[in-house]
Amino acid sequence: MINSGLIGLIREKSRVIKAAKDLFKKSYLLFLIVILLLSIISIKANITKLGYSLAENSKILKKTKLENKLLRTKISALKSNYRIKKIAVSNGMIFPKKKDIKSVKYE
């Protein structure tokens, strides 16, 4: 004899499996769409973050260039011949006369 209760369980099991497979096919597409949307949002957020970082770096670059210009101006002022001559004279230095200069020959 065949156990009719076992056949009923097998039929119910196959219906459940079939329903699960159909649900998986439908939910798979939904899951894929959600993943793609999240990826797009993540990429947009990273692009925005990079834009803010670029703007901040640009501001720092402008500030550094301005500071560099100021430092170059100070260097030029410190290197000026007039300033060096003024300091030398205030320390008692004088320019040598032609007769005070001696030439040495290297052999």
What DSSP designation does 2 have? -
**Which pLDDT score, from 0 to 100, does residue 2 have?**
52
**Which pLDDT score, from 0 to 100, does residue 11 have?**
59
Output the average pLDDT for the chain: 85
Is the Cβ–Cβ distance between 77 and 83 less than 8 Å? yes
- E strand or H helix at 87: helix 81-90
**Which pLDDT score, from 0 to 100, does residue 14 have?**
74
Collect all residues with Cβ–Cβ distance below 8 Å to 77 and sequence separation of at least 6.
83
Q: What is the pLDDT of residues 37-88, one digit of tens each?
A: 999 999 999 999 999 999 999 999 999 999 999 999 999 999 999 999 999 9
